């Protein structure tokens, strides 16, 4: 159960969304930035789904690592992806990307996404345990998540909506942080105040 809780908390930071992009010789600066954002989201999403931890971490907004060190987060995620008992991310899709907006140190955008994960019951053929786990997952994931229990296959499918903040500062490229995580640690000033005021 601890692994389930740990992964869900980690995914608040590393929620991501897929994107596609097109090119045009007459692209405006806004179009270029949006294309860059979508490309970054696509790479970040693929890394999240396929467990490419180093790539995934390279897209995390750096100030997140003032809350938990990059090395520790790498160890946690590597262990989670290696575990056969941890949920498997099967799909991440973006629902909406806001306009790219300026702030005092760069650019930012808000992305609505949906992540689908599957969890095989760690205790098979135990209806009581699976019902308790189902109730726990529903409570833990909140009202913006859908939890489905396939009793015959002993699989829990979790579809969770979330928002992430894309931030671009200088030449570092787009980095991401979960909106819920940003709000939770607002007092730590992980996310620039000029962004938080507009959310």
Please tell me the predicted confidence (pLDDT) of residue 181. 84
pLDDT by residue for the chain (199 residues), tens only, comes to 444 444 444 544 454 433 334 444 457 888 899 999 999 999 999 999 999 999 999 999 999 999 899 999 999 999 999 988 888 999 998 889 999 999 988 999 999 999 999 999 988 889 999 999 999 999 988 888 999 999 999 999 999 998 999 999 988 899 999 988 888 887 888 888 888 888 7
Predicted confidence at residue 154, as pLDDT, reads: 93
pLDDT digits (tens, 9 = 90+) for 41-68: 999 999 999 999 999 999 999 999 998 9
Q: Could you tell me the CATH number of the domain that includes residue 35?
A: 3.10.450
| Residues paired with residue 148 on neighbouring β-strands, in sequence order | 157
How far is the C-alpha of 126 from the C-alpha of 182, rounded, in Å?
Answer: 38
C-alpha span between 158 and 90 (Å, rounded): 10
Provide the 10 A C-beta neighbour count for residue 148. 12
- Write down the pLDDT at residue 94: 87
Q: 118 is in which domain, residue-wise?
A: 2-196
End-to-end CA distance of the chain: 33
What pLDDT, on a 0 to 100 scale, did the predictor assign at position 170? 86
The string of DSSP letters for the chain reads -HHHHHHHHHHHHH----------TT--HHHHHHHHHHHHHHHHHHHHHHT-HHHHHHTB-GGGGGTS-HHHHHHHHHHHHH-SSS-EEEEEEEEEEPPPEEETTEEEEEEEEEEEEEEE-SSTT-HHHHHHHHHHHHHHH-TTEEEEEETTTTEEEEEEEEEEEEEE-TTS-EEEEEHHHHHHTGGGT-S-HHHHTT-
pLDDT of the residue at 16: 40
170, 173, 176, 165: which is closest to 36 by C-alpha?
173
Number of domains in the chain: 1
Report pLDDT for 115: 92
Q: How far apart are CA 17 and CA 69, in angstroms?
A: 24
Q: Looking at the DSSP assignment, which residues form a beta bridge with residue 113?
A: 94, 162
Predicted local confidence at residue 6, as pLDDT? 44
Sign of CA dihedral 116, 191, 109, 105: negative
Here the tokens at position 93 are 């899709």
Angle, alpha carbons 13-149-113 (nearest 5°): 30
């Amino acid at each position: 159960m601890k692994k389930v809780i740990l992964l869900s908390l980690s995914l608040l930071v590393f929620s991501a969304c897929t994107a596609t992009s097109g090119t045009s010789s007459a692209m405006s600066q806004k179009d270029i930035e949006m294309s860059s954002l979508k490309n970054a989201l696509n790479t970040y999403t693929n890394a999240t789904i396929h467990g490419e931890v180093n790539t995934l971490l390279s897209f995390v907004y750096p100030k997140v690592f003032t809350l938990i060190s990059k090395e520790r987060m790498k160890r946690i995620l590597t262990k989670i992806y290696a575990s056969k008992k941890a949920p498997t991310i099967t799909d991440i899709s973006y629902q909406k990307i806001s306009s790219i907006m300026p702030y005092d140190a760069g650019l930012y955008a808000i992305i609505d996404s949906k992540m689908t994960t599957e969890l095989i019951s760690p205790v098979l053929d135990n209806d009581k345990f699976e019902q308790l786990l189902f109730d726990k997952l529903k409570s833990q994931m909140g009202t913006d998540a859908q939890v489905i229990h396939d009793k015959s296959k002993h699989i829990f499918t979790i579809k969770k909506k979330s928002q992430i903040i894309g931030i671009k500062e200088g030449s570092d490229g787009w980095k991401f942080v979960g909106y819920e995580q940003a709000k939770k640690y607002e007092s730590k000033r992980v996310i620039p105040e000029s962004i938080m005021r507009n959310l």
